[in-house]
Amino acid sequence: MEECKNPITCACSFSGIRPAMVDLPYPPVQVREQNPAYANLLSIDYCGSVSELSAITQYINNENRLAPENCPLARTLLGIAMAEMMHLQHLGELICLLGGPVDYTARMRNGNQRMWTPEYLTLPEHTEKMLLADIDAEKAAIHQYEMHRKLIQDDCVDAMIRRIILDEEYHIMLLRQLLAECGGGRPRQNMPR
């Protein structure tokens, strides 16, 4: 494919993009019984500061900003965002089955509630910093999912969380690869004294 000489007149083609996910099926979306406390925990994963909604929005924003200059990178970020959309959809179904509302409000264990806000996003200007922020967000999501797994005693919900974590780990691998390709993953050379 020929390189575009003028990014203002060239468009990045997103035709054929597929979700960036592990090649394993998701378990059925089901729960053992309704449990609003579990629904509240999942609401944090759904739309809290560390959440699928935050991830989708951050990836789409980065993809939009990078597309004119780096179409391959933008395409990969869109694929990751698409996988995060699938996670959001599965979590929303689980929340409903558990008896909770899906209204973009994260419900904390202490009773506090907070509606999703773009203030949760990290949107640096430089590509390397974008990728590092995305890696940090994926790591935080995995950590939060692991904490919630310890609190949710429902094997059906646990199976879905474990499957989502596999995708998040895959995303970290992809992002590290992208970071290395753009120069941010190179080991530092010893500086002359």
Report the share of the chain in percent with pLDDT over 90.
Answer: 85
Give residue-wise pLDDT tens across range 169-182. Answer: 999 999 999 999 98
Residues 26 and 90 sit within 8 Å (Cβ to Cβ): yes
pLDDT at 190: 36
Nearest-Å Rg of the Cα atoms of the chain is 18
Sign of CA dihedral 68, 74, 75, 78: negative
pTM (2 decimals)? 0.89
Write the DSSP string, the chain.
-PPPS-TTT-----TT------SSPPPP---SS--HHHHHHHHHHHHSSSSHHHHHHHHHHHHHHHTTT-HHHHHHHHHHHHHHHHHHHHHHHHHHHTT---SSEEE-TTS-EEE--GGG----SSHHHHHHHHHHHHHHHHHHHHHHHHH---HHHHHHHHHHHHHHHHHHHHHHHHHHHTTTTSPPPPPP-
Per-residue pLDDT averaged across 80-88, rounded? 98
Least confident of 37-41, 88-92, 185-189: 185-189
pLDDT at 93: 98
130: pLDDT strictly greater than 90: yes
Per-residue pLDDT averaged across 11-32, rounded? 95
pLDDT at 3: 55
24: pLDDT strictly greater than 60: yes
Give bridge partners of residue 107 from the DSSP assignment: 113
Residues 131 and 31 sit within 8 Å (Cβ to Cβ): no
Greater model confidence, 108 or 184: 108
Please tell me the distance from the alpha carbon of residue 168 to that of residue 161, in angstroms, as a whole number. 10
Mean pLDDT of the chain: 91
Task: Return the closest-CA partner of residue 61 out of 128, 135, 125, 142.
Answer: 125
pLDDT at 192: 34
6: pLDDT strictly greater than 80: no
Quote the tokens at residue 65: 């900003």
Quote the tokens at residue 64: 């939009």
pLDDT at 11: 81
The model's confidence at residue 183, banded by pLDDT at 50, 70 and 90, is confident
